[in-house]
């Protein structure tokens, strides 16, 4: 359980999402928000949004209180080519969650080195680079989720940047 800044206890599952151009990694915690586990690797679907709908279904099934979407900024804290795409994905997800009448928050969280960390763990486990593709996105989502949980637990406050369905893109930097 995590205590937030309003002295409220936030209880419920959290989802972690690693957004890529071809695939989306998905991870989830237990209801107490303690243990992050990989769930699925989704095919990115900008046309029918089936990837987003799958995440909404997972949030519904798990009674998720938060979805952390990885914010792909570089090591200097600047936007990358994928930043705008991830921000749009997060806004679309927030819109679909609201349309499903869920109060699940969507928050962007710094994902620096999440894929690198996942790749290193797979390499250490003896998984060849060629065989990593099917699970690396899930493990990157786990890394994003673990980072968010660590920040929540260490600060006792909300972490990441809240995204709303109505939010306009802030592309200035």
pLDDT for residue 3? 38
Q: What is the DSSP string of 79-115?
A: B-TTHHHHHHHHHHHHHHHHHTT---EEEEEE-TTHH
User: pLDDT tens string for the chain (173 positions)?
Assistant: 343 444 355 789 999 999 999 999 999 999 999 999 999 999 999 899 999 999 999 999 999 999 999 999 877 778 888 899 999 999 999 999 999 999 999 999 988 755 555 556 655 656 555 555 667 788 889 999 999 998 888 888 889 999 987 765 444 44
pLDDT for residue 134? 64
Report the SS3 class of residue 12: coil
pLDDT for residue 137? 85
H or E stretch at 36: strand 36-43
Phi and psi angles of residue 69, each rounded to the nearest 5 degrees, phi first: -105, 130
């Amino acid at each position: 359980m995590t205590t937030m800044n309003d002295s409220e206890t936030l209880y419920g599952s959290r989802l972690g999402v690693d957004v890529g151009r071809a695939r989306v990694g998905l991870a989830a915690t237990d209801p107490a928000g303690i243990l992050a586990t990989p769930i699925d690797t989704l095919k990115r679907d900008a046309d029918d949004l089936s990837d987003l709908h799958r995440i909404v279904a997972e949030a519904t099934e798990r009674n998720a209180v938060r979805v952390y979407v990885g914010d792909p900024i570089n090591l200097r804290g600047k936007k990358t080519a994928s930043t705008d795409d991830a921000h749009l994905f997060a806004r679309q997800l927030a819109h679909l969650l609201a349309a499903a009448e869920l109060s699940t928050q969507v928050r962007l969280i710094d994902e620096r080195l999440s894929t690198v960390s996942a790749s290193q763990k797979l390499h250490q486990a003896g998984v060849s680079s060629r065989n990593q593709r099917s699970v690396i996105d899930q493990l990157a989502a786990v890394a994003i989720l673990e980072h968010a949980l660590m920040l929540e637990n260490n600060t006792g406050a909300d972490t990441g940047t809240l995204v709303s369905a109505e939010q306009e893109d802030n592309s200035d930097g």
